[in-house]
């Protein structure tokens, strides 16, 4: 699905030197690369503040903590995402309320917000799934008119451009009150271990999050809030500083692979290639097909037999997960997400895909549907 080794080898010397530099300095925690990475990521995103932290899940949790919500307050989000989005809401004693997604872009459907908003609703967490932005214009308008916070889960779309109607593009994750991302190794900007960041244009949120990530400390050994320990290792920051310079090139390589898949697979009976949102670029964290009902698992098995990995993101929507049963959802409550779980299949997508590999993969998909 990914080729982290190929990507590493291309810039091995630069990365090895950066890691060695951190080891020589022994400034493993809060070393200067962390601050420099925060500044460089802020500049890349065009946002005022970036706070690095331990991973993407922590970034989401820190954002939710910074809102200072009350137990039982409701947060609207999608059930068609990675579990972290919902886990942190639950862990903080808040109540996730699910909103179904659009069948084409897989992103939160803003038209369904009205049906679930209540006097207890405090925030919306849109997820920019697979590499393109949710309909942030509609979501922000709804949030403004109901006095809600917006936290963007941007773990899969770091660097994608949000394209609003006014033509003033913004980076994904910088539109709401706070945005969160992950540097898990397989993400578009991947570290050599765990890492994450939160970004915001709001100075008071930035200060609160920086303090919460450091045990709620403001003045040394004086604690104003109950915080957590969530930091980005200096070694990871040094690696990410180098990889950030290549991020746009990584996106371009993914887009090139996606265009290849599109050209060879669109029009094939039985599958749909990924839809493009009109208000976002697509950086293809995943290249996800919709396969006709009942044939998806057979296609996956066929590809595996031919030596081609593929993945189902996601096989079960979050409202039907055992751990979240007490929220009271049933099958049929969020029909679009439920159907997608039976139809989606993600093909190999990374920066090192060669034409011969892409050709082989698409040939095999053709063979499956023609046999």
Ligand X SMILES: *Cc1c(COP(=O)(O)O)cnc(C)c1O
User: Segment near ligand X (CB under 6 A), from 39-47, 82-90, 106-114, 209-217?
Assistant: 82-90
Indicate the residue among 79 and 299 with the shorter CB distance to ligand X: 79
Q: What is the DSSP string of 48-102?
A: SEEEEES-HHHHHHHHHHHTTPPTT-EEEE-SSS-THHHHHHHHTT-EEEE--B-
Q: What residues have CB less than 8 Å from 189, skipping those under 6 apart?
A: 158, 159, 181, 183, 240, 243, 244, 247, 250
CB of 198 to ligand X, least distance (A): 12
Cβ pair 206, 48 in contact under 8 A: yes
Please pick, from the candidates 81, 197, 200, 211, the single residue that binds ligand X as defined by CB under 6 A: 81
Please pick, from the candidates 7, 50, 57, 188, the single residue that binds ligand X as defined by CB under 6 A: 57
The yes or no reply on residue 55 touching ligand X (CB under 6 A) is yes
Q: Hey, which residues between 163 and 202 contact ligand X (CB under 6 A)?
A: 182, 184, 194, 196
Please state the φ and ψ torsions of residue 257, each to the nearest 5 degrees: -65, -40
User: Segment near ligand X (CB under 6 A), from 11-19, 81-89, 251-259, 266-274?
Assistant: 81-89
Indicate the residue among 54 and 348 with the shorter CB distance to ligand X: 54
* CA gap 338, 116 in Å, rounded: 18
* CA gap 310, 300 in Å, rounded: 6
The yes or no reply on residue 56 touching ligand X (CB under 6 A) is yes
* CA gap 42, 150 in Å, rounded: 19
**Burial track 191-228 (b if 16+ CB lie within 10 A, e otherwise):** bbebbbbbbbbeeebbebbbbbbbebbeeeeeeeeebb
The yes or no reply on residue 127 touching ligand X (CB under 6 A) is yes
User: Segment near ligand X (CB under 6 A), from 76-84, 98-106, 202-210, 321-329?
Assistant: 76-84
The yes or no reply on residue 314 touching ligand X (CB under 6 A) is no
CB of 266 to ligand X, least distance (A): 26
User: Segment near ligand X (CB under 6 A), from 29-37, 148-156, 212-220, 363-371?
Assistant: 148-156
Indicate the residue among 243 and 265 with the shorter CB distance to ligand X: 243
Q: What is the DSSP string of 134-145?
A: --HHHHHHHHHH
Residues found near ligand X in the complex (CB under 6 A): 55-57, 81-82, 84-85, 127, 153, 155-156, 182, 184, 194, 196
């Amino acid at each position: 699905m990914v080729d982290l080794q190929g990507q590493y080898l291309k810039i091995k010397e630069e990365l090895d030197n950066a890691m060695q530099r951190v080891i020589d300095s022994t400034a493993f925690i809060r070393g200067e690369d962390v601050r420099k990475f925060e500044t460089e990521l802020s500049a890349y995103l065009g946002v005022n503040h970036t706070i690095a932290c331990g991973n993407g899940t922590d970034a989401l949790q820190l954002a939710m903590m910074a809102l200072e919500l009350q137990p039982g307050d409701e947060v609207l989000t999608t059930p068609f995402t990675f579990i972290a989005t919902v886990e942190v809401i639950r862990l903080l004693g808040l109540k996730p309320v699910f909103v179904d997604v659009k069948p084409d872009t897989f992103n939160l459907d803003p038209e369904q917000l009205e049906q679930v908003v209540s006097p207890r609703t405090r925030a919306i967490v849109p997820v920019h799934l697979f590499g393109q932005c949710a309909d942030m214009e509609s979501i922000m308008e709804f949030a403004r008119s109901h006095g809600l916070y917006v936290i963007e889960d941007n773990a899969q779309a770091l660097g994608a451009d949000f394209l609003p109607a006014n033509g003033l593009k913004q980076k994904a994750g910088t539109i709401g009150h706070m945005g969160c991302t992950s540097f898990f190794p397989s993400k578009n900007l991947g570290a050599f271990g765990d890492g994450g960041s939160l970004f915001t244009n709001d100075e008071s949120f930035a200060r609160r999050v920086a303090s919460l990530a450091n045990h709620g400390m403001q003045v040394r050994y004086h604690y104003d809030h109950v915080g957590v320990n969530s930091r980005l290792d200096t070694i990871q920051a040094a690696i990410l500083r180098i990889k950030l310079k290549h991020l746009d090139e990584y996106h371009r390589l993914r887009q090139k692979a996606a265009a290849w898949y599109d050209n060879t697979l669109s029009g094939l009976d039985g599958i749909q290639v990924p839809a493009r949102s009109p208000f976002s670029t697509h950086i293809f964290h995943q290249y996800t097909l919709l396969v006709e009902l009942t044939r998806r698992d057979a296609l996956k098995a066929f590809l595996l037999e031919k030596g081609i990995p593929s993945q189902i993101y996601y096989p079960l929507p979050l409202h039907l997960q055992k751990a979240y049963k007490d929220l009271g959802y049933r099958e049929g409550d969020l029909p679009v997400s439920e159907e997608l779980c039976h139809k989606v299949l993600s093909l190999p997508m990374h920066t090192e895909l060669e034409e011969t590999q892409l050709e082989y993969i698409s040939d095999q998909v053709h063979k499956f549907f023609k046999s």
